[in-house]
A and B are shown apart, each in its own frame.
Chain A
Amino acid sequence: MGTRGGEGRSFEDTLSGATATFRRPLVVAALLGFLALIAVALAFVWRQYDDAKHTAAHDLRSRAILAATVYDTYFHGQLETLSAIAAAPALTSGDVDAMRTYFAGFRPGSGTSFTAGIGWIDPSGHQRATSDPNGPITASLAGRAYFKNAYGTGKPVVADAVIAKQSRRRLIVMAVPTRGRRGHVTGVLAGGIVLRPSSNDARANDLGYAGLHVVDASGHELNRRDLAAPRNSRLVSQLERAKQGVLIGAHGLDGSGGRVVAFATSAAPKWTVVLDQPEGEVFGDARRTLLREVLLVCAAGLLGLAFFAWALRRARKSLRASRAQVVRWSGLTRSLNGAADPDEVYAMFLRALAAEYPDGVSMLAVPSSGGEGGVATSIAPGSRALSGTPPDRIAASVVGLVASAEDRVALTTTEDVRRALGVETGWVASAYGVSLKDGDPRRPAVGLILFPRERALDANALGLLDAYADLVEQALGRVRRHEQEHDAAVLLQQSLLPDRLPEAPGIELAAHYRAGAPNTKVGGDWYDVVVRPDGIVHMTVGDVAGRGIDAAISMGQLRNAFRAYALEYLSPAEVVERLGRHVAEDQMATTVCVAYDPCTRELAFASAGHPPPLLLDGESGEVARLEASYRGPLGWRSSSVVEHRETVVSDGTTLALYTDGLVEHRYVGIDDGIDRLAAALSGARGRGMESAVDSVVAEVAPNPEDDVALLLVSFGTAPATLRLEIPADPLEIRRLRRRVHGWLDQRAVDEGTQDAAVLALNEACANSIEHGYRGTRQGTISIELAEGAGVLTIAVEDRGRWLEPRPNPNRGRGIMLMRHLMRKTEIHHRRGGTRVELETPV
């Protein structure tokens, strides 16, 4: 298929390539790979965030350590200062007054760092000298921790923060032991620092010291005015256990969660510096970075997916277009299978073209002779009206063009079209022409597809058009073959029925036959008329059960059998009996056979289960049924068939033989159906036979789906001439005599002449037997009788060889009888046989 183009792929290949299943696994793999990439990027981003968080946390810890170090340094300094003061001569001498004087220089406002003043406490715990202008504290300070610590250990100490009773100020007290000249501890020098409330120093916050808390060794939070312990005591104990560190996601000092707690211990004051900041602040940057990067990755991912989707959509669209083409293609193939004639093929083709080229297309199919007989231009239905039609002159040019191209022709521009066809083509802008064998190799046609727009007609488009052309060609061939087969089938069917009724002397015949099954010409019904050589006419109708061709086949066999038996057997009963042998066990058939002798005008009939023939009296219009004694249908093993006889018919009598399709009505019994038929027959008398038979069927046949056969026989008087052939047998001669008497009666010949003529005829026939056939009783005798113009002539002819016999007195007497009975007797011996001619006046 698709061998027209020659080069390139066939249309089928192109189509199948385009519609190959869209390699789903590959697509899925690509998608998954892309998503994996995105996932990896996101994981990386997350890792970065994690790292950033850790860095920020450690950063905080570093700051805490730094702060602790600062405090450390500060307090070391302070302790150094205090120790220096303790080494002053005033203190080492133990001179309280000197101390007082010395301490006066340390009054608040003097610029000293000991903002809460300094004082000397003697070993009993009483403050003896102070910088406070109000004088020394009267209460005993022996129980104070700093005193006990410094005095006991002899080491400088920084006490925990306290709140002064009177002033309510927060103080940090430092104490160093004072030593005498000998180095023994003489007392404790204490200095106090007032804790200022922490200020929200913006600068400190900027440096990342927001949330700075200091907790001293006894758990006082020095930031707080009331020096209360932080709420989160667990945290505090945790901090005390570890010297420094950073906790992420812990509960802060106030107990609130989600905080980063960096801490470091300052050794000198035994303070823990805590930087307690919400995670949001600490990780803010990291989070922002994370967000940004995630957004970036997501944006990139989305872009990638969008691109992916776009590419997919495009591929799908092209796939859909190809699939639509395939659908159109297979639609055309299917509908072409149902096309019944070439016109339908072209119409379907045009519809497919219109679907394929919705912006307009026209088709022209011409016989290759270029003359008439081609299909006229067809414009695709649904196209907008193409203005004008190509002139018919195009047809001839087209044919020439395609024939010379040998293959096919594609013209893609208006200029090409004009140049190639040599005529102005009106609206045609591009064309495709191809030769189509119309199914008849003697009558190839040329198909031309015309487009109102210039079409590229690339390899794919050409492939498609070529493929279409192939399809159309095949369809045309198929349609033609089908037509031929159909014609043959019709002919065959028609052969199953008699095409013409025979000429029979003395009777007129007319028949109507209709097959019930649709699209068939024959069915299970049949009718036939056989004129035997002896002049007797056998008439029959029959009915094989079933419809359509199967029944017709059985019917053909029965009809042929009838024809054979009708010639062989005189009695209708014998014919019917033997017909029964041709019916298979599972078949059912009925028939009636009527024998008519034009000489004696006698009817005999026999029936096998068939509706009774009707006899219409031409004058009175009365209809009688020829009833047979009941016998089952053909083939039923029952008693032998009975022959029935009816008396002589008279002029104008009509016999009707019919099948049950004519009398079987749905809600009416057969009897009533027969009555209706009888009435119709009666009503139709006086009409010509042909019109009568048709009108009766039209009036009576109720069901168009039933087979119907009606045979009408009208009986007239015997003709003036009679031709018979009988077997050379004495019994036949005996029969012949009776029949000839009957004919002579009809010809109104008087009795005496009849007797003489019959006897003479008898003798002539006897001679044929004796001489011609040497008594072997084989062979036939031809007899011709003619009566008219006052003369009766009889001719008897055989085809035997005349032998002079041994003297046989009979024969001598016979000839003598002939010569005496007849006016003229002539005996002619010929090589082919003997002919006896007799003549007598009537």
Chain B
Amino acid sequence: MNEERHVLSVSVTEDAHGVVVVSLAGELDFVGGEDLSARLAQIPVTAGPPVVLDVSAVRFIDSTGLNALVTAARAIEANGGSVVVAGPSAHVRRVFEIARLDHSFRLEETLEGALRAALAAQAGE
């Protein structure tokens, strides 16, 4: 009822190919958005790696969450990286669609697909 457990958890890993995988789990709302921004700010962006945002475990996203994602993505792209969103749920996808972000972001069904897409995007440069 009044659980204060971290509603959003953010973990950043790097796979064998140097793709940064940001795994989000929980609710991406105003509070969660702040968490995300803080964590993303910690990613070394010198080399502009490809980034996969794994949102398969995100149960909720609202406008502030979207904002956080957009801001983060822009920052990554500005540094030469690319962003792929992996595994959005139907609801999350719908939110993206309503916000007309489905074209701004590359949405992939699965994590593997997103990883491949990220590598491809990087290779494509």
Contacts and interface: CB of A to CB of B under 8 A. Distances in A.
Contact of B63 (A536, A595, A752, A814): A814
Contacts of B105: none
A104 interface: no
Contacts, number: 68
A817 B66 CA distance: 11
A735 B27 contact: no
A684 interface: no
A821 B98 contact: yes
A766 B62 contact: yes
A730 B64 CA distance: 11
Interface stretch (A120-128, A151-159, A805-813): A805-813
Interface in B73-117: 90-91, 94-95, 98-99
B64 A816 contact: no
Contacts of A353: none
A816 B99 contact: yes
A756 B61 CA distance: 11
A816 B91 contact: no
Interface string A615-632: 000000000000000000
Nearest to B31: A730
B67 A734 contact: no
A202 interface: no
Given A734-B27, A752-B90, A762-B29, A813 B63 contact: yes
B2 interface: yes
Given A730-B30, A734-B31, A766-B30, A571 B2 contact: yes
A597 B63 CA distance: 27
A435 interface: no
A820 B91 CA distance: 13
Contacts of B29: 730, 733-734, 737, 762
B7 interface: yes
A762 B32 CA distance: 14
A731 interface: yes
Q: What range describes how many residues of A lie at the interface?
A: 20 to 34
Contacts of B60: 737, 755, 758-759, 762
Contacts of B31: 730-731, 734
B1 interface: yes
A813 B1 contact: no
Contacts of B67: 809-810, 813
Given A571-B2, A810-B67, A759 B62 contact: yes
Given A731-B31, A734-B27, A820-B98, A766 B1 contact: no
A737 B62 CA distance: 11
A604 interface: yes
Given A734-B27, A817-B99, A536 B1 contact: yes
A814 B98 CA distance: 10
A811 B1 contact: no
A609 B13 CA distance: 48
Interface in B46-73: 60, 62-64, 66-67
Contact of A811 (B2, B63, B90, B98): B63
Contact of A763 (B7, B63, B90): B63
B74 to A, nearest CB: 12
Contacts of B27: 734, 737
Contact of B62 (A600, A645, A762): A762
A398 B62 CA distance: 90
Contacts of B66: 810, 813
A821 B66 CA distance: 16
Contacts of A810: 63-64, 66-67
A246 B75 CA distance: 170
B1 A759 contact: no
A817 B95 contact: yes
A756 B2 CA distance: 23
B66 to A, nearest CB: 6
Nearest to B27: A734
Contacts of B30: 730, 733, 766
Nearest to B59: A755
Contacts of B95: 759, 817
A194 interface: no
Interface string A592-623: 00010100101010000000000000000000
Given A602-B1, A733-B29, A735-B2, A766 B91 contact: no
A734 B7 contact: yes
Contacts of A597: 1
A375 interface: no
Contacts of A604: 1-2
A762 B61 CA distance: 10
A643 B62 CA distance: 31
A821 B61 CA distance: 13
Nearest to B70: A809
Contacts of B7: 734
A600 B7 CA distance: 17
A297 interface: no
A595 B1 contact: yes
Contacts of A817: 62-63, 95, 98-99
A562 to B, nearest CB: 18
Nearest to A603: B1
A570 interface: yes
Contacts of B98: 816-817, 820-821
B36 to A, nearest CB: 14
A820 B64 CA distance: 17
Interface string A732-773: 011101010000000000001001101100110010000000
Nearest to B67: A810
Interface string B13-37: 0000000000000010111000000
A206 B74 CA distance: 179
A595 B27 CA distance: 25
Contacts of B2: 570-571, 604, 735
Contacts of A570: 1-2
A602 B1 CA distance: 7
A814 B99 CA distance: 9
Contacts of A645: 1
A759 B94 CA distance: 11
Contacts of A600: 1
A570 B30 CA distance: 21
Contacts of A536: 1
A758 B66 CA distance: 16
A817 B99 CA distance: 7
Contacts of B90: 752
Nearest to B34: A730
Interface string A561-581: 000000000110000000000
A739 B1 CA distance: 8
A811 B1 CA distance: 28
Nearest to A573: B2
A736 to B, nearest CB: 11
A814 B1 contact: no
Nearest to A604: B1
Residue of A600, A602, A755, A758 contacting most chain B CB atoms (<10 Å): A755
A749 to B, nearest CB: 14
A571 B1 CA distance: 9
Interface of B: 1-2, 7, 27, 29-31, 60, 62-64, 66-67, 90-91, 94-95, 98-99
6 contacts: A536-B1, A570-B2, A730-B31, A762-B60, A810-B63, A811-B63
Given A604-B2, A810-B66, 17 more contacts: A595-B1, A597-B1, A730-B30, A733-B29, A733-B30, A735-B2, A737-B29, A737-B60, A739-B1, A755-B91, A756-B94, A759-B91, A762-B29, A763-B62, A766-B62, A810-B67, A813-B67
Q: What are the nearest 9 A-B pairs in CB distance? A: A814-B63, A813-B63, A820-B98, A755-B91, A730-B30, A570-B2, A810-B63, A810-B67, A762-B62
